[in-house]
Each structure stands twice: as structure tokens, then as C-alpha cells.
Structure 1
Amino acid sequence: MTTERLPLLMLPGLLCDPVAWAATAALLPQYDCRVPAWGALDTIGAMADHVLASTSEPHFALAGHSMGGRVALEVVRRAPQRVTHLALLDTGYQALPEGEAAEKERSGRAALLARAREAGMRAMGQVWATGMVHPDQIGTPLFDAILDMIERSHPDQFAAQIHALLGRPDATSLLGEVHCPTLVLCGRQDTWSPLARHEVMAGLMPNAVLSVVEDSGHMSPMERAQDVADAMQAWLARPLSPTFSSQARPA
């Protein structure tokens, strides 16, 4: 009798698709890796509902990168009994700040959207993605793959996802209630979601382990797939909570 593989839901970030997770997923063949698509969904809550509605299994492991990490936390808020393991990569947990910081974020995102509508998604990506990777990755085939991924999206999808991020819920109060084995991972050179934020986040979670990926920016699952997969292997090997049945155990 064969044992079914544990579903591992890999939630993508802003303007990301399965390619963002592909290299890491290929190194985790013993898990049933799945990457949802956000389509025109424009709130973090709607994205979380989509994840739950599209997953028939009662239990699954959950990993979210960047915006996907915020969606993962919202999935846990809605259905903690279904999540065996949680991984949060290069992400955040706080709502949009108030005052000048909020206006700076709104205007920055609006400028990128305007460029996408006027010059095309790839031209916008040339500006945006430069700050999303380790400096050594700029101009490499990996950087081109990121631009290709951005170009596969439409400005209307970009607008929907910006709307979701600007309206993101605050998960601060949730962190202390997450008791499943948790991985908090960040690229050392991530300037978009810096390491200091992940150190605080891991410290607020009772069963979290912090992993720092060296020589990586924000796109760690693409930039350092082997290091990310190694950290995820160790995370997925951690014992399940007694809440979950033996049927949810990894193969």
C-alpha cells in the first residue's frame, strides 16, 4: 500500500507564479507541491479563502513567500486545524502603517503600476526587480526569469494585488497563537522584507525556527533554491502537533 504524499501548498508573492517556487519544489519530490494562482483576487482574505476552497485534503503543510506569507497567516487564522506546518519566507505580518510611511508605500506602488500601464510589465519589472534580488543576480538568467514571470501578469492583476497589499490585515496578535512547527526564513540581503523583521516575527511565535539564507535577496526560493529546500526539509521533518492524525504525516 502506498502512502499519499503530504500536500505542500506553496503560496506565491506579488506577480509571482509557479516558476517562483519551481526550483525549490523540484528538490522536495517527496511532497505534493502545489502553487495556487491569485487571478484577479484583490484582498488577502479572498486569497486565503481561495487556498482553503481549492484544497480538499483535511491537512496540509503551508509555505508562503512575500505576499504569499501574508496569505499563509490568514489561512492559519481561518483554519488553524488544517495546517500541519507553516513556513514564512521573506515576508511580513503588520498592516499598512499610518502617516508618512503609508503615503510613501502607496505612492511607490502607484508609480510602479503607472509604469506598468504605460511602458509594459517587463519595463516596470526592470525597475522593481532590481531591488528584489542580491546585486550579483542582476543581469543573470535568473533575473531574466523573474522579468519573464512579471511579464506573464497583466497590469490589472498587478492593481488587484497592490490593493490586497495596501489593505493587508495585521497578524501581530495571531503570531503567538501559531503552535504548529514554523519556519521563518529570510535572505540575508533582502532589503524589501529585511532580516530584522523576521527576527522579531520568529521571536513572537512559540514554535518557530529562524533560518537566514546567505547571499540572497528577497527572491530566496529562486536565488538559493538548495538552501531554501534544505531548511524546508528540516522544517517538514519536525514532529506534528498531537492535533493532527497519523494520516497527515509526510511520506
Structure 2
Amino acid sequence: MHDDSIGRRGWIKLVGGAAGAGAALVVARQAGAAPPAAGKGMQAVPWPYAPLDPDATAERAFKGYLEGHCMYGAFDALAGQVADKLGAPYTSFPTRMFTYGAGGVAGWATLCGALNGAAAAFQLLSAKPEPLVDALFRQYEQAALPDWVPASAKFPNVKSVAGSPLCHASISAWCKASGKKAYSPERKERCGVLTASVARHAAIILNAQHAGKAFPVLEDKATAECASCHEKGGTLENTRAKMACGGCHFNLGTKHPAI
């Protein structure tokens, strides 16, 4: 029984405060860093980070893809592993919310879900997430992926260069390279393997940043040239973006985009 004069909200605050304090002690003891406090303190980022094994991250991402698709697979592989290492309050994070990113957000084929999930993890775990996003997204645009394959994969791996962070462009490029259909079982597995590759690279650069080491950010000279005219301070200044221009705007065989 309790004193009704305290009221329901008062008891929620008391219980929440006690639980948060206990969680804080656990995390501080395990991570050697100040954990997020209960209530408003949990809204602050970043939360403490624990370095991850890239290959274990990739394996978990592939498994996560099979459970909840690309965005969930990438986020769970990164933040989920930190939760396993550090415990509460990380373990209470609703990772299943990230299933919305499947197929470029509910099948809309916009931002690749693996990139979306990794970027969410960067925001949660890094004090400087933007350089990590830049490095990961540019690598996704320019590299031949997937570049890591789990032992449990059923089909031969076919690499392709997306030229864009968009799910639509990535899948179309892979279909052209593989000769397979977009709704084939081979494509479904490919996106799982791609999720694993993305999460693996995300772990590598997160680890590097955490250790104070440099990590590569690939250049895109063609896009930089476009930006000199179309971006902030340019003659036209009629767009704002970092993503490669050629993935959408250039006609085959021409040197300037059709707008």
C-alpha cells in the first residue's frame, strides 16, 4: 500500500529514479564511463561506446536482417552488441522500431536501410557522428559490395557498385550485375549480406574514431565539381546534398546531367 497523497505520477518518478540509479551504477562499473541517467538524461547522446569485433558485427547483422530486415539488422549489430557489453539502460532500447527502414523505409526504396540503421547507431554512440556517416555513405556509393560474406550464405556473392546511397539505385545496379530479379531469393539474400558488409565497415570506423585514429573518407571529384555550381555559394545554389550526382542525373554518354 502507499500514501495516496503522493499520487500516481509521484510513484512513477520514484520508481523510475530508483531503477535509473541502479542502471547507472551497473553501466558505470562495467564501462568506466558515466552512463546516461534516468529521465531527461537518457535523451542526451552519445551514450558510452564499447569497441566491437567487425566480423562478429557482420554475423549479427546478417542474422538481424533475417529477423527484421536491413535497418534493424545494422542497428542491432552495432548498438545491440554494446547493449550486451554494457547492460542497462541499453538493453531496454526498443531496437525493433527500426524495422520501419526495410526496403528503404517501408518499401519506398529511399535511403538504404543498412545505412539508415548504422547512422542511427552513430548518432547514439558517437560524439561526432557526421564524419562517420560521410565515410560510410561514400564507401557505400563507390565500393563494390558486398565485400564480406557469411558462411551460411546460400548463393554466390555478386558485387556491384551502387553509385548512390539509395536502395532503389543499389538494387537496380545489383540486378544488372547479377542478372537476377529484384524479388528473387538471391536478391533477398544479397541485401542481408550487404547489411552485414555495411555494419562491419561501420564497426571498423566507430572503433577507429573511439581510439582517436583516422579513417578514410573517399573522394568524389565529379560530385564536388557539380557542387561548386549547384551547392551553397555556387552560381545556381539550387540544391543541397552530399550524395553522388551521377547516380540519378547523368544521361549515359553525356557529361552533364539532365535536370
User: Which protein has the bigger helix share?
Assistant: 2
TM range (shorter): under 0.3
User: Which protein has the bigger strand share?
Assistant: 1
In the superposition, the TM-score normalised over structure 1's length comes to 0.24
For the pair shown, which has the larger CA radius of gyration, 1 or 2? 2
Which structure carries more relative contact order (alpha carbon 8 Å, separation 6+)? 1
In the superposition, the TM-score normalised over structure 2's length comes to 0.24
